[in-house]
A and B are shown apart, each in its own frame.
Chain A
Amino acid sequence: MISLQLASLLTAGSLMVIGAVAVIFIDNLIKKVIALSFIGDGVNLFLVTLGYKPGGIVYIYLPGMSGSWFAQNAAYPLPFALVLTSIVIGASTLAVMLGIIIVLYHKHGTISASKVLEE
Chain B
Amino acid sequence: MNPLIPVMVVLPILCALLLNLLHGRDRTVKALAVAVAVLLPVIPLLAGYGVHYFGGYAPLSENSTIAAGLPGSIKSSYLYSFHPAITYVFGSAQRIFLVILSVVTFLAVLTSLNEVRRPSGVYAFLMFMGTAAVTAIVLTDDIFNLYVFFEIAALAQVGVVLCSGVERNYETALKYMMIGGVAAPMLLLGVAILLALTGNVNISDIVYSMRSGLVNPGSPLFLLASALLIFGWLYGTGLPPFHTIKSAIYSKALPHGSALLQAFSVFTFTALAIVILRMFYHVPLVRWVMVFFSLAGMVLGISMALMQTDLRRMIGFLAVGELGYIGIGFGLGTAASISAGLFQAVNEALITACIFLGFGTIFYMTGKTDPEDIGGLMAYKPGLAGLVMLSGFIMAGVPPFNVFQSKLRLIQAAIQAGVPELGILMILLSIVTFMTFMRAFYSVYLKPEPKGMELESRSVPRSTVFSMVVLIIICTVLGIAPWLATSHFTALIQGLII
Task: Please say whether chains A and B are actual partners in one complex.
Answer: yes
- Name A residues whose Cβ lies closer than 8 Å to a Cβ of B: 16, 20, 23, 29, 32-33, 36, 39-40, 42-43, 46-47, 50, 76, 78-79, 82, 85-86, 89, 92-93, 96-97, 100-101, 103-104, 107, 116-117
A22 to chain B, nearest CB (A): 11
**Given known A47-B192, A97-B174, A101-B174, contact A82–B158 (CB-CB < 8 A):** no
Looking at the complex, which one of A23, A43, A85, A93 makes contact with B155 (CB distance below 8 Å)?
A93
Given contacts A76-B199, A100-B173, contact A39 B182 (CB under 8 A): yes
Q: Which residue on B lies nearest to A51, using beta carbons? A: B195
- With A and B bound together, what is the CA distance between A34 and B158 in angstroms? 19
* Interface pair B171/A117, CB less than 8 Å apart: yes
Chain B interface mostly helix, strand, loop or mixed? helix
Please determine whether B170 and A36 come into contact, CB atoms closer than 8 angstroms.
no
Instruction: Please determine whether A93 and B177 come into contact, CB atoms closer than 8 angstroms.
Output: yes
> B181 near A97 (CB under 8 angstroms)?
yes
Docked pose: A36 CA to B174 CA in angstroms: 12
Q: Which residues in A have their C-beta under 8 angstroms from that of B196? A: 50
A-B contact pairs, 19 of them (CB 8 A): A23-B178, A36-B181, A40-B188, A46-B189, A47-B192, A50-B192, A50-B196, A76-B199, A79-B195, A82-B144, A82-B191, A89-B151, A92-B155, A96-B155, A96-B158, A97-B174, A100-B162, A104-B170, A117-B175
Interface centre among B175, B181, B196 (most CB of A within 10 A): B181
Question: Is A43 within 8 A of B171, CB to CB?
Answer: no
Residue of B nearest to A97 (CB): B177
Q: Mark B152-175, 1 if CB is under 8 A from A, else 0.
A: 100100100010000000110111
Q: How far is the CA of A93 from the CA of B174 in the complex (A)?
A: 11
The CA of A47 and the CA of B148, in the complex, are separated in Å by: 15
B171, A104: Cβ atoms under 8 Å? yes
Is B144 a contact of A85 with CB atoms below 8 Å? yes
* A117–B188 CA distance with the chains assembled, in angstroms: 27
Whether the Cβ atoms of A93 and B181 lie closer than 8 Å is: yes
Structural contact, A100 and B148, CB atoms closer than 8 A? no
Residues of B within 8 A of A86 (CB): 188
B201 within 8 A of A: yes
Is the CB of B461 closer than 8 A to any CB of chain A? no
Residue in B152, B155, B178, B185 whose CB lies within 8 Å of A40: B185
Task: Report yes or no: A104 in contact with B174, Cβ–Cβ below 8 A.
Answer: yes
CA distance A97 to B173 in the complex (A): 9
A94–B182 Cα distance when bound, in Å, is 12
Q: Give the residues in chain B near A29, CB-CB below 8 Å.
A: 174
Bound: A42/B184 CA distance, A: 13
Given A97-B181, A100-B173: A46 touches B148 (CB 8 Å cut-off): no
Task: List B173-223 residues whose CB lies under 8 Å from chain A.
Answer: 173-175, 177-178, 180-182, 184-185, 188-189, 191-192, 195-196, 199, 201
Expressed in whole angstroms, the Cα–Cα distance for A16 and B174 within the complex equals: 20
CA distance A38 to B1 in the complex (A): 41
Residues of B within 8 A of A40 (CB): 181, 184-185, 188
Q: Tell me the bound Cα distance from A47 to B173 in angstroms.
A: 29
Q: Does the CB pair B148–A89 fall under 8 Å?
A: yes
Q: Could you say which residues of chain A place their CB within 8 Å of the CB of B201?
A: 78, 82
Tell me if B181 and A103 are in contact (CB < 8 A): no
User: For B162, what are the chain A residues with a Cβ–Cβ distance below 8 Å?
Assistant: 100
B195 close to A85 (CB less than 8 A): no
Given known pairs A46-B189, A100-B162, the reply for A85 and B148 (CB within 8 Å) is yes
The minimal Cβ–Cβ distance linking A119 to chain B, given in whole angstroms, is 8
For A32, the closest partner residue in chain B by CB is: B178
B126 → A minimal CB distance (Å)? 12
* B191: A residues at CB distance < 8 A: 82
Task: Report A68 CB to chain B, min CB distance, Å.
Answer: 13
Contacts of A117 in B (CB 8 A): 171, 174-175
A interface footprint on B399-428 (CB within 8 Å = 1, 0 otherwise): 000000000000000000000000000000
Q: Are A50 and B195 in contact (CB under 8 A)?
A: yes
Minimum CB–CB distance for B475 against chain A, Å: 35
Cα A93 to Cα B184 with chains together (Å): 11
Please name the residue on chain B nearest to A104 by beta carbon. Answer: B170
Q: Establish whether residues A100 and B174, one from each chain, have CB atoms under 8 Å apart when the complex forms.
A: yes
User: In this complex, which of B151, B178, B196, B201 has the most chain A Cβ atoms within 10 angstroms of its Cβ?
Assistant: B178
B158–A107 contact, CB under 8 A? no
Which residue on chain B has the smallest CB distance to residue A37? B181
A100 CA / B182 CA spacing, docked (Å): 18
Whole-angstrom distance between the alpha carbons of A43 and B195 in the complex? Answer: 13
A23 touches B170 (CB 8 A): no
Q: Is the CB of B144 within 8 A of A23?
A: no
Q: For window 32-74 of chain B, which residues contact chain A by CB distance below 8 Å? A: none
Min Cβ gap A100→B in Å is 5
On whether A39 and B181 interact (CB within 8 A), knowing A78-B195, A93-B155, the answer reads yes
Q: Which of B151, B171, B189, B199 contacts A93 (CB 8 A)?
A: B151
Contact of A23 among B148, B174, B181 (CB under 8 A): B181
Q: Is the CB of B181 within 8 A of A43?
A: no
Residue among B152, B178, B185 with the most chain A CB within 10 A? B185
- Report A50 CB to chain B, min CB distance, Å: 5
